[in-house]
């Protein structure tokens, strides 16, 4: 379970980062973790990026923990993960 969540955090981090700068990567990783715990919601811009690249629908962010618990998340790259909050 934790491994799957780690993979999704990494995928979201790589999607929302603005540069390869270490501090930006850390910021993006921190945000991705908050998004998946439901502590924060992504910006509209990031929701669109995540939907385009990772196929997590816009509406999932209303209750991301339930969405992740009840759905297999398949990215456009073909990676499939079952993530539980």
Q: Tell me, yes or no, if the pTM score tops 0.85.
A: no
- For the record, the structure tokens of 44 come out as 């509209």
* Average pLDDT over all residues of the chain: 82
Q: Is 84 within the bounds of a domain?
A: no
Q: Is 6 within the bounds of a domain?
A: yes
Q: Which domain holds residue 40?
A: 2-13+23-79
- The b-or-e profile of 39-51 (16+ CB within 10 A means b, else e) is eeebeeebbeebb
How many distinct structural domains can be found in the chain?
1
Output the pLDDT for position 2.
57
Checking if the pLDDT of 47 tops 70, the result is: yes
- The b-or-e profile of 7-22 (16+ CB within 10 A means b, else e) is ebbebbbebbbeeeee
Q: Is 72 within the bounds of a domain?
A: yes
């Amino acid at each position: 379970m934790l491994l799957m969540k780690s993979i999704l955090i990494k995928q979201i981090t790589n999607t929302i980062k603005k540069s390869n700068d270490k501090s930006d990567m850390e910021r993006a990783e921190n945000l991705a973790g908050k998004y998946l715990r439901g502590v924060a919601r992504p910006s509209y811009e990031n929701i669109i990026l995540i939907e385009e690249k990772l196929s997590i629908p816009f509406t999932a962010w209303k209750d991301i923990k339930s969405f992740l618990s009840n759905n297999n998340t398949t990215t456009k790259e073909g990676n499939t993960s079952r993530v539980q909050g």
